Structure 1
Amino acid sequence: MLRLLCALLYLSSFFGICAERATISGFGNIGAVHSNSDIYRFRTDISRENDNFEDSIDFNAISSLGLQTDIVLHPDFDFVGQVIYRGQKHITLDDTLSLAFLRYKPTPSWEVRVGRTLLDLYLLTEYRDIGFAYPWSKVPTEIYGLLPYRSLDGADFTYFISKGALDYRVKLFTGESTSNIALDNENVELTIDDVIGLSVELSQFDWTLSLKHTQAKTKNNISTMASIIAGLQQIPAQIWPDKTQFINDFSLVNKTAYFSSAGLKYDIGAFTFLTELAHLRSDSSVVSAVKSGYISSTYNFDKGQVFYTYAIAKSKTSEFNDAVNIQRFLPNQVEEIILAVNESFRVFSPNQQTYSIGMRYDLKDNIAIKVQLDHSNINAQGGALWSYQGMNTLAPKESFSTFFISVSFTF
């Protein structure tokens, strides 16, 4: 798929010579994060490494810079490309390229896009990385932090229709995606393919309702799991009769994951209400069933906004039910493997809630300053959304505050 994306970039530059119109725009966020926790460090999603445990202020976590080009190749065709720097340690085309697609739109009612698009999982998918588009210093991580995938390499079909005052938008999409997952001591890659999704949005002047469902197959085991499975296979079947079934359930290879979300944005007078609910589950026991959501109210005045948000993520972690019996026969040989299995069960198992208050003030039409204070309550072993140094099975319960200050801009 990367070859296809490179081909699209080449074609766009070639056609750009005779393009009817080309525009370049950009956006960014300069921010700082401070937490009074010595245990957990903030990250926007589980793909982000955070090794700033010795620094009291993190200038990298919510800072970003993006550039976008829109090239009209023909009245019915255009090309869109977007690159975003979000503090990646290794800057490559694949890591920074957020959008690279050709769009065919013969009528106002429908369009087809081929290439790299945004993976449409959430209400705020189209502008989750554009801080100027929302009042908070960052989108609620309880919803947006657990899945590391942002882009989809494939194609989508969107149909638009208006009936009276109601606008309908229906999108079908398919493709594949690859992202990293940042663990305690390494950054591992996980690919999903056979992605197929449906997004339905209804809107009027003062409200938008979105319903989305996506399913995909995880293509590979992350490297740590592959070594764990190899160790589990060495346990004699006489000691562990359910070994084959456990390993099959534990593996991520060719396991289907399902993600559904519902979102609502509603404007009434000077107030804006925004809420999203999401549910993640998988055929693999490693991916817990996770329910998450948030509700946010914003008071709009002159050039400013004041907001309050409550967010929660709950999961039920799988258990290694045969561990006690196996250790009885092989107490020394399997202790490390069992610990590793339990660690794997907690990679996708957040249990936390966050209360947020904050304010945004627009200095200019394209520049806004934001401040936000979060108070988070994390259950023991429930900090999957945070960076934590050590074993997640030993991660303690903690309540702490995190302060954000940022300047968002467009150009």
Structure 2
Amino acid sequence: MLCILPFWGLPAYGNENVQWSGFGSLAVVTADSDELGYRRDYSLTSEVFDGQWSFEHHSNLGVQVDWHINSQWDVTAQLLYRSQRDINLDTLTNLAFLRYAPDSRWRFRAGRLPFDLFLMTEYRDIGFAHSFAKVPSELYGIIPHRHIDGIDAEYHTNIAMNTLSVKAFYGETKELVSAANTQSGRDFKLDDVWGLAIDLKSFEWELGLNHTRTRIDNQVAQPLIEGNIALSQIPFLNAAWPDAVSDALRLNLDNESISFTSFGGQYHFPAITLQGEIAHMQSTTETVNDLNSGYLAAIYNYGSHQFTASVSHAATDRDESLLEGIDVGTLSLSPDALGLYIGADFLHDFYNINQNTLSVGWRWNFNDTTALKVQWDRSRIYGSGSSLWQPPVETRSGPRSTGTVNALFVEVSWVF
């Protein structure tokens, strides 16, 4: 915002160097499960169960202003409403950066920038820009952070008939994150976000490689660590949970690191587009489990219509031996000790995704700026469950549910 403020009060009306644009989606979703409540990603504190219809999860409205100061400098600001819990300038500001392009090869930006994690990072929330009524949750739902506050540098060059871009970025970011057994959330901050994004494209195809490494700034596990140190000083409780301190330290989040790598691409045949991405996430904390995910989609173009089909998958590599062999009955003799165990189990299950989804959809561009999209998802939740799905309030202290869920999405998207 500091980059934008010096220019914010200048008149835009009648200035040909200032361009206003916008986008939006009016989308409704419903599901058919009483045990597994749908939510878009980890930032949502609400869910959609059988018989419910929600406009909250995928409806949004955005407006963007681009000011081309001269051939080398420009400013971009974008406000986006997408059902944020707190509505203020900070949460609504999706982009706000100053860009400097000394020549056709180099670009430098500072401010609030897109977080380059995926193939569709730049337009994941612009429904009109892609074919899906809902992008695959197995990849795009696992990290709710949309932007970083920082800097980036990008280099462009041509290789034969192809365009290569290499971007490096640094910054920090935070986003509301809600666990799957609560309807409350708290800010999840990431510091020292270092990243590299490489993109190679031609008219017919595109390949993208993204790698990010960051440090977690979150002390949610600190009360557990301190409580388990105290618990270890009580002989009969220490005997019931001999690894209490080491278990708590393994669940610590503060100053732990996460690395995320994704590789994706698309190829345009005359009538069909194939698109896919795979990703791997690794961390040094047992609260954020290692993850492998991806999807493959086919898009058939027929006049003003598109027909889509995709399969997606996500599975975490969770250490199931953590918190095993604990005498919960003895811990129950002390409400504080039992509370510590419940807290540890909560963190251990916080980021646990095991699901496959089959999707089919239809898009109709009924004019140049508006599209109707319909999509059906059939998700299978297996193993130890998936924390992308909310359980009912009355079962949030029990085991996570598994099974199959059908979800229907209907969306009208537009640009202006």
Q: TM-score range by the shorter chain?
A: over 0.9
Q: Which residue of 1 aligns with 2:223?
A: 227
Separation of aligned partners in 2, 1:325 and 1:360: 53
Q: Which residue of 2 aligns with 1:263?
A: 264
Q: Which residue of 1 aligns with 2:339?
A: 336
How far the C-alpha of 1:383 sits from its partner, in A, is: 2.1
Is residue 2:63 matched to residue 1:62? no
How far the C-alpha of 1:308 sits from its partner, in A, is: 0.5
Q: Which residue of 2 aligns with 1:132?
A: 128
Secondary structure of 1:387's partner? coil
Q: Which residue of 2 aligns with 1:345?
A: 348
Is residue 2:395 matched to residue 1:397? no
Separation of aligned partners in 2, 1:180 and 1:260: 22
The one-letter code of the counterpart of 1:298 is I
Cα 1:391–1:274 shift into 2, 3 Å: same
Cα deviations by residue, 1:347-396 (Å, 9 ceiling, x for unpaired): 21100000000100101011000111110101254221123334375121
Separation of aligned partners in 2, 1:216 and 1:16: 39
Is residue 2:258 matched to residue 1:254? no
The one-letter code of the counterpart of 2:388 is L
Which range moved further: 343-352 or 237-246? 237-246
Identity over aligned pairs, percent: 31
Q: Which residue of 2 aligns with 1:172?
A: 168
Separation of aligned partners in 2, 1:54 and 1:91: 29
Q: Which residue of 2 aligns with 1:217?
A: 215
Separation of aligned partners in 2, 1:120 and 1:392: 36
The one-letter code of the counterpart of 2:74 is D
Which range moved further: 369-378 or 333-342? 333-342
Q: Which residue of 2 aligns with 1:206?
A: 204
Q: Which residue of 1 aligns with 2:378?
A: 375
Secondary structure of 1:195's partner? strand
Q: TM-score, normalised by structure 1?
A: 0.93
Which residue of the other structure, out of 108, 112, 136, is the alignment partner of 1:116?
Answer: 112
The one-letter code of the counterpart of 2:355 is Q
Cα 1:350–1:393 shift into 2, 3 Å: farther
Secondary structure of 2:222's partner? helix
Which range moved further: 54-63 or 232-241? 232-241
Secondary structure of 1:94's partner? helix
Cα 1:387–1:241 shift into 2, 3 Å: closer
How far the C-alpha of 1:25 sits from its partner, in A, is: 0.2
Cα 1:339–1:108 shift into 2, 3 Å: same
Which residue of the other structure, out of 86, 91, 102, is the alignment partner of 2:82?
Answer: 86
Q: TM-score, normalised by structure 2?
A: 0.92
Secondary structure of 1:38's partner? coil
Does the Cα contact within 8 Å between 1:346 and 1:393 map onto a contact in 2? Answer: no
Q: Which residue of 2 aligns with 1:186?
A: 184
Instruction: Say how many residue pairs are matched.
Output: 404
Q: Which residue of 2 aligns with 1:11?
A: 6
Q: Which residue of 2 aligns with 1:272?
A: 273
Cα 1:163–1:55 shift into 2, 3 Å: same
Does the Cα contact within 8 Å between 2:359 and 2:377 map onto a contact in 1? Answer: yes
Separation of aligned partners in 1, 2:90 and 2:333: 43
Cα 1:205–1:39 shift into 2, 3 Å: same
Separation of aligned partners in 1, 2:73 and 2:10: 11
How far the C-alpha of 1:242 sits from its partner, in A, is: 4.5
Cα 1:30–1:330 shift into 2, 3 Å: closer
The one-letter code of the counterpart of 2:215 is K
Is residue 2:39 matched to residue 1:43? yes
Separation of aligned partners in 2, 1:317 and 1:31: 34
| Matching of residues 279-358 of structure 1 within 5 Å | 279-319=280-320, 321=322, 323-325=324-326, 327=328, 330-333=331-334, 334-358=337-361
Does the Cα contact within 8 Å between 1:380 and 1:396 map onto a contact in 2? Answer: no
How far the C-alpha of 1:331 sits from its partner, in A, is: 4.5
Secondary structure of 1:337's partner? helix
The one-letter code of the counterpart of 2:407 is T
Separation of aligned partners in 2, 1:243 and 1:285: 14
Cα 1:52–1:143 shift into 2, 3 Å: closer
Does the Cα contact within 8 Å between 1:143 and 1:293 map onto a contact in 2? Answer: yes
Does the Cα contact within 8 Å between 1:383 and 1:392 map onto a contact in 2? Answer: no
Cα 1:42–1:283 shift into 2, 3 Å: same
How far the C-alpha of 1:246 sits from its partner, in A, is: 3.1
Q: Which runs of 5+ in 2 are unaligned?
A: none
Separation of aligned partners in 2, 1:124 and 1:235: 47
Cα 1:393–1:283 shift into 2, 3 Å: farther
How far the C-alpha of 1:19 sits from its partner, in A, is: 6.9
Which range moved further: 45-54 or 262-271? 45-54
Separation of aligned partners in 2, 1:293 and 1:191: 25
The one-letter code of the counterpart of 1:212 is N
Secondary structure of 2:333's partner? coil
Does the Cα contact within 8 Å between 2:258 and 2:282 map onto a contact in 1? Answer: yes
How far the C-alpha of 1:31 sits from its partner, in A, is: 0.9
Q: Which residue of 2 aligns with 1:106?
A: 102
How far the C-alpha of 1:40 sits from its partner, in A, is: 2.1
Which residue of the other structure, out of 124, 145, 148, is the alignment partner of 1:149?
Answer: 145
Secondary structure of 2:6's partner? helix
How far the C-alpha of 1:337 sits from its partner, in A, is: 2.1
How far the C-alpha of 1:64 sits from its partner, in A, is: 0.6
How far the C-alpha of 1:9 sits from its partner, in A, is: 2.8
How far the C-alpha of 1:329 sits from its partner, in A, is: 5.6
How far the C-alpha of 1:397 sits from its partner, in A, is: 1.1
The one-letter code of the counterpart of 1:394 is P
Separation of aligned partners in 2, 1:308 and 1:392: 36
How far the C-alpha of 1:74 sits from its partner, in A, is: 2.3
Secondary structure of 2:144's partner? coil
